[in-house]
Structure 1
């Protein structure tokens, strides 16, 4: 039987959706007030900011904006509606600074530890209710002891990260379970390294192993999307450094994989940059230098040269995860997730949305 939605039904659905959004906003605002009252022993009054209507649409959609005072100083509270990278938040604050002269504090419902650290490095004030209040302009840096990072939340070793990304990328394949013996040659690891990587993923709750016959096989601990979400604060960019090489040098094309914005333009509708970027392993760079190639340490020195090529030296070999000469989408995301360009961030989101999970 077909279901026909009438206009009154659609209106009702829209009203319910708006009601749920208001409830969500009320909860995070109340949690923030309660957290500040508990940590600073001060009451904070927050009121809708009338300047929201003069802002670009993307900003007014990104935050619920309330204003009040903290420590006697006018403060604009920005309740993030969705998770944005620290670089994007920084760009938003620059634009908001043209409309609001006072202090600004961004409020997140939750925030990975790597993102908190980057916000602190950039001097951006933020609150995670129940976990942390960082407002250097107000002389505040409070972290709840119950939320201190533990060893279980440290970043993964490069070999373990490569193993996790391989499992995520092949999660829809038949017989996705793998043993250390099977994974070692695929990822170019020793059997000892492969075993240690699987043990580390299991300890972090990202993978699980079960004994099948005489071997232990591993698969993801949850569905791929959930594992990817849980792993965000344990993953790092694979890029150790960027160097420049002039074309014409001896290059083993099989060891080079399109990376950076060059790769993102291949995977999305983003315009392709003039200068090409490739990912290589540390071993490939050493072999290149041993063969007589001259590597310029500063990637920006020859950036304007027509025959200049940028090389990203990765902490793990990009080859096992790459396909058709282009680096894998998950490593690509990690290498660009702090790029401040909103076009790049939009392209990264669309790329991840195209994954089968």
Structure 2
């Protein structure tokens, strides 16, 4: 029995009182296409009188949610029975996406979502320490994202250098360092008079753990009738940026991002409109600089994901899955 299947049985025993010996290898898996057998291990299991098929993810670090759903649909069409996705871990936004799409899943020790059986157990989420319950400040978020997207990843980094690049004061730097340490994302140590942060996890795991503590950088959107002026701090954003990184169609109104501070300097040279209208230009006012990647014409991919993660359009969410696969991790 695969270890993940044993974890499922133990979890179901603790939460529903089901016997631990109910899982067995699915007899028909050899009839599936190779790409499905390569993606999942399969176990048949009886849950409260219903036989379900567990699709145990063999490569969770490589899977995108769009790909997972497509494969599960294929398995379900062949098996003719409820199919449940099983993985070791899911970020909160991934759980939300799966629930919105009514995709059954089990994360042993964390959550069980089986809409076909009327089961949705969420009280088993692992809680973060109280000191990390609140959202990170925009400055701490910007520093974290900048560190995660460094061209050559190393766990240790110098926060003062990142803060200087972003134009933050020593007081803002100190507060951001305390926040990242309190969130359990990095540990602080000194070398001489310099202070360093060491990431506690890999870039991907750091991002997944940090995501519930992060917010959309977009504070509000304004529209103008004036073209976007040339400025090094302005970046393509929103659906315009996502279209640049995927096959998503360009939005009707082009979208750019600018920090609130930069907007104060620019707004005297543009004609602001009361609402979106044909031919308008959309400006997202960000809580931190949208130019965290100096050489890019778009906002960075992590901030872009945060700005669009609650978009209900499935095409947008599929494009975000494509964007996730382009991350340098």
Q: TM-score under structure 2 normalisation?
A: 0.73
Residue 35 (1) aligns with residue 5 (2): no
Cα offsets for 1:147-179 (capped at 9, x unmatched): 3343355453322121112223347499x8535
Distance in 1 separating the partners of 2:162 and 2:43? 51
Q: Which residue of 1 aligns with 2:300?
A: 328
Counterpart position of 2:272: 293
The one of 145, 160, 177 equivalent to 2:140 is 160
The aligned counterpart of 2:87 is 108
CA contact (8 A) 2:111 2:124 kept: no
CA contact (8 A) 2:111 2:123 kept: yes
Helix, strand or coil for the counterpart of 1:163? helix
Q: Which runs of 5+ in 1 are unaligned?
A: 1-24
Alpha-carbon distance between aligned partners in 1 of 2:295 and 2:53, rounded to the nearest angstrom: 46
SS at match of 2:205: helix
Query: Which of these two proteins has the greater Rg computed from alpha carbons?
Result: 1
Partner of 1:130: 109
Per-residue deviation, 1:348: 3.5
Gaps of 5+ in 2: none
Counterpart secondary structure, 1:231: helix
Residue among 210, 218, 237 paired with 2:189: 210
Q: Does 1:80 align with 2:57?
A: yes
The corresponding residue for 2:210 is 234
Kindly report which structure 2 residues correspond to 1:224-303, keeping only aligned pairs within 5 A, or say none: 226-235=202-211, 236=214, 238-240=216-218, 243=221, 245=223, 248-249=226-227, 251=229, 253-260=231-238, 262-263=240-241, 270=246, 273-275=249-251, 276-284=254-262, 291-294=270-273, 296=275
Say which of 57, 65, 68 aligns to 2:42. 65
- Root mean square deviation, CA, Å: 4.0
Please report how far the alpha carbon of residue 199 of structure 1 lies from its aligned counterpart in structure 2 after TM superposition. Answer: 0.9
Q: Distance in 2 between matches of 1:120 and 1:185?
A: 41
Q: Which runs of at least 4 in structure 1 moved beyond 6 Å after TM superposition?
A: 336-339
C-alpha contact 1:112 1:233 (8 A) present in aligned 2: yes
> Measured at CA, do residues 172 and 347 of structure 1 come closer, stay the same or move farther in structure 2, by a change above 3 Å?
closer
Q: Distance in 1 between matches of 2:274 and 2:294?
A: 23
CA distance in structure 2 between the partners assigned to 1:221 and 1:164 by the alignment: 10
Aligned-pair CA distance for 1:285: 5.3
CA–CA separation in structure 1 for the residues paired with 2:75 and 2:196: 48
SS in structure 1 at match of 2:6: helix
Q: For residues 54 and 242 of structure 1, what CA distance do their matches in structure 2 show?
A: 49
User: Compared with structure 1, are the counterparts of its residues 288 and 103 closer, same or farther at alpha carbon in structure 2 (3 Å cutoff)?
Assistant: farther
- Within 2, Cα distance between the matches of 1:86 and 1:153? 27
Deviation at 1:188, TM superposition (A): 3.3
2:98 to 85, 106, 119: 119
TM-score normalized with structure 1 length? 0.68
Higher helix share: 1
Residues 318 and 41 (structure 1), Cα distance of their counterparts in 2 relative to 1, 3 Å cut: same
1:214-236 deviation per Cα after TM superposition (whole angstroms, max 9, x unaligned): x44223335xx714423313124
